[in-house]
């Protein structure tokens, strides 16, 4: 029984977000309060390398589309090392690629043409990371997580540019807004990652610093109905992509994917437990 009590008290102390000193024996109501799960709130941000993948089309040379994200975060932690969070962020996604080809010019000579394509997306993304923490230490804990994501796009732009080595050909540039004719208005995806959570003390206030890397990919195709449906007047619906317009029968599926490094800073929220623990480290609360 004595060994059980010692282990139980040590487990409680490890679960608290700050070091505690006990002024007097814990009452049963305070033990129950400590045993409850804890909420933490804070901010989160990431830097992501984005791209799009296609199931039926060759898209040319991959170029990393780098973009930041930022928002607010909340997490609900249990004594069993499980955390369930909610992040709401402003995100930027997209893709960049380059292709080239050779053809016979008007003077019957070989010449080259190059195409640069870029799609930029801006939107609001909600993530629900389910996190599993490992280890018994308070200072540093590794973790893994799985996060369903829902993104709602607010728009942005597409740029398609063709240039020629032969100076007799003028460059061709198209721009188009991202709308329901060029992208599904929302994206459902899932991300998986791993990281390290560190506990720091800022004066008497504890902070949880989480750093992770993760990979995410769309679950559904990002082609909109307007992109994949034939027009009622008999003409085809085309995708403004890559080397040129692609007939809708050849579209297949298009998925957003990204790899990102994420930093999250959380502040635990809990009521001060009367007669249970003092916030001042190394000091007992006055009786």
DSSP 218-251: ESS----HHHHSPPTTSPPPEEEETTEEEEGGG-
In this predicted structure, what is the pLDDT of residue 164? Answer: 84
Give the pLDDT band of residue 58 (cuts 50, 70, 90): low
Q: In whole angstroms, how far apart are CA 133 and each of 42, 77, 130, 261?
A: 18, 10, 10, 18
Average pLDDT (139-167) is 90
Rounded distance between C-alpha atoms, residue 22 and residue 38, angstroms: 20
CA end-to-end span of the chain: 29
**What domains can you pick out in the chain, each with its CATH number?**
37-269 (2.40.160.20)
Least confident of 125-139, 187-201, 247-261: 247-261
pLDDT > 60? residue 128: yes
pLDDT tens figures, 35-51: 345 899 999 999 999 98
pLDDT tens figures, 63-114: 789 999 999 999 998 867 899 999 999 999 998 888 777 766 666 677 788 8
In this predicted structure, what is the pLDDT of residue 40? Answer: 93
The average confidence (pLDDT) of the chain is: 75
Average pLDDT (235-241) is 47
Q: pTM of the full predicted structure? A: 0.72
In this predicted structure, what is the pLDDT of residue 229? Answer: 67
More confident residue, 194 or 25: 194
pLDDT tens figures, 186-195: 999 999 999 9
Residue 161 per-residue DSSP state: E
Phi/psi of residue 278, each to 5°?
Answer: -105, 145
Rounded distance between C-alpha atoms, residue 191 and residue 46, angstroms: 13
Average pLDDT (56-61) is 64
């Amino acid at each position: 029984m004595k060994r059980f009590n010692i282990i139980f008290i040590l487990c409680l102390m490890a679960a608290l977000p700050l070091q505690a000193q006990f002024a007097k024996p814990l009452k049963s109501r305070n033990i129950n309060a400590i045993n409850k799960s804890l909420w933490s709130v804070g901010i989160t941000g990431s830097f992501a390398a984005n791209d799009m993948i296609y199931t039926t089309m060759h898209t040319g040379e991959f170029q990393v589309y780098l973009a930041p994200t930022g928002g607010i975060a909340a997490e609900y932690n249990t004594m069993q090392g499980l955390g369930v969070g909610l992040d709401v962020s402003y995100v930027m996604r997209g893709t960049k690629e380059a292709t080239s080809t050779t053809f016979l010019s008007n003077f019957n000579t070989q010449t080259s043409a190059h195409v640069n394509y870029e799609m930029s997306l801006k939107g609001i993304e909600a993530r629900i990371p389910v996190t599993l923490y490992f280890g018994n230490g308070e200072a540093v804990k590794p973790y893994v997580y799985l996060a369903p994501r829902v993104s709602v796009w607010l728009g942005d732009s597409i740029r398609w540019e063709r240039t020629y080595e032969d100076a007799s050909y003028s460059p061709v540039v198209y721009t188009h807004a991202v709308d329901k004719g060029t992208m599904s208005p929302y994206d459902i995806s899932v991300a998986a990652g791993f990281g390290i959570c560190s506990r720091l003390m800022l004066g008497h206030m504890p902070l949880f610093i989480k750093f992770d890397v993760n990979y995410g990919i769309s679950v559904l195709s990002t082609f909109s109905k307007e992109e994949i449906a034939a027009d009622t007047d008999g003409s085809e619906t085309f995708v403004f992509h890559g080397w040129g317009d692609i007939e809708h029968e050849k579209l297949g599926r298009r998925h957003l994917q990204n790899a990102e490094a994420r930093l999250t800073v959380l502040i635990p929220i809990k009521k001060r437990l009367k007669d249970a623990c003092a916030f001042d480290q190394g000091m007992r609360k006055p009786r």
